[in-house]
Amino acid sequence: MKTNIVSEILDSGGDLLSYGSRGIKQLSKKRIRKLSPNIIRVGDTVKIINPEIIIRIGYPMSFDDACKEAKKFHHDDIIEFLQKIFPSREVKLGKIIGEITCDYPRLKAYNKIVKALAFEILGNKGFGGKEKKIYSEIRQDLLGITSTVKNIFIRKTGTYFPSSGGYDSWTGEYDYDPGGLDKEKTHKILELDYWINEVVAIGSNYYIQIEACNVEKIHEGDSQNSDY
């Protein structure tokens, strides 16, 4: 390998003295190092062996949950407020249907108020708890399907703890520990190029999201029957 590296340097018009023995060794190591064929990367084809599909990753109370709560308890108040601000506009009380969703109003102001209230609700309720985890759903109809990896995300789970410490007037020093996650775990999340019909969409994801541990990589030459 070293001889090949030296030949390449000379053939390209390079100067061996400028590389030195250490530089040649480093080049040799880079050439020897091979990427593991078992690591899943974007563009690889995988097969679902455990159909535990991700709905969302976060704390017990989601932003969507908070928005629904804001609409449920403050819909009439928001409409009354908008009527005072825009008296010349016709503002009707919308019907509450399904899971507390409104067929009205379409005003951007309404949605912005709902979102602002949702942020306050999340803060007041501490996101419903301190445990950040993966919320998933078993979908047997997706077992065995093969698809291409569209994106890869790295996410953390664990139990949140706040920052602590501060200025110590006795010693004149700062003793500060940043907040973080206790019992932290790292998860490799794959987004597959497999579209789920909006009617049966999992969570808010229209493409399948799944942990890498729940799929197996299909290597070139392996027999496969893609369902997509």
Q: What is the CATH number of domain 38-59+130-228?
A: 2.30.30
Highest mean pLDDT among 34-38, 145-149, 165-169: 145-149
Residue 223, beta-bridge partner list: none
Q: Where residue 90 falls among pLDDT bands split at 50, 70, 90?
A: low
Reduced to 3 states, what is the DSSP secondary structure of residue 20? helix
User: In 113-132, which positions are buried (b, 16+ CB within 10 angstroms) versus exposed (e)?
Assistant: bbeebbeebbeeeebeeebb
Residue 59 contacts residue 132 (beta carbons within 8 Å): yes
Q: Can you read off the two tokens belonging to residue 37?
A: 């064929």
Mind listing the pLDDT tens digit for each residue in 30-48? 555 567 888 999 999 999 9
Radius of gyration of the chain from its Cα atoms, rounded to whole angstroms: 27
* Helix, strand counts (H, E) of the chain: 4, 11
The C-alpha atoms of residue 31 and residue 108 are separated, in whole angstroms, by 57
Mind listing the pLDDT tens digit for each residue in 112-127? 899 999 999 999 988 8
Domain positions in the chain are: 2-32, 38-59+130-228, 60-128
